[in-house]
Amino acid sequence: MKKLSYSMALMGMILLLGFSEKTQAQNTMAADETFVVEYYYKAKWGYADEFLRLFRKNHLPVLKEQLKSGRITRLKLEKTRYHATEDGRWDFRVTIVFKNATVAFSPSPEEEIIKRLYPDQETFKKEEARRFEILLSHWDVPISTLPLD
């Protein structure tokens, strides 16, 4: 019982910290300031092309719909020219510029967009599962621009 209480307390603290971080990010930014996040993807060796094909087929159209709606103001997909050390390696970086932090942290319309764009949900879910199956890691990095002076 003691272990369960400790686990529940730890989970509560993690949730509160996450909520606090989100609220702090929203409160420290100007209402009209864009919110930039870089999303990094590291595929298993030999599977980068398959990952990119599935990303372009299933996820990029969802992001483009959000670009059309104005939720996202800029979108960029990049890959490395050369390989780095394995611990620092990433294959693809997607930079998303959200209209502002409030929009970035508000509920995403992705689910509705996915249902509209992909009527064959069984195939969509199977391909998305495969896309994540061939990933070694994925991480998100919110970016803040600092003044030069």
Query: Phi and psi dihedrals of 127, rounded to 5?
Result: -70, -35
Q: How confident is the model at residue 24 (pLDDT cuts 50, 70, 90)?
A: low
The mean per-residue pLDDT over the stretch 54-69 comes to: 98
How does 104-125 read in b/e, with b if 16+ C-beta sit within 10 Å? beeeeeeeebbeeebeeeeebe
The better pLDDT of the pair 9, 38 is held by: 38
Domain coordinates of the chain in residue numbers?
1-30, 31-143
Domain 31-143 has CATH 2.70.150.10: no
Name the token pair of 44.
Answer: 């298993």
Name the token pair of 133.
Answer: 């199956």
pLDDT tens for residues 83-135? 788 888 999 999 999 999 999 999 999 999 999 999 999 999 999 999 999 99
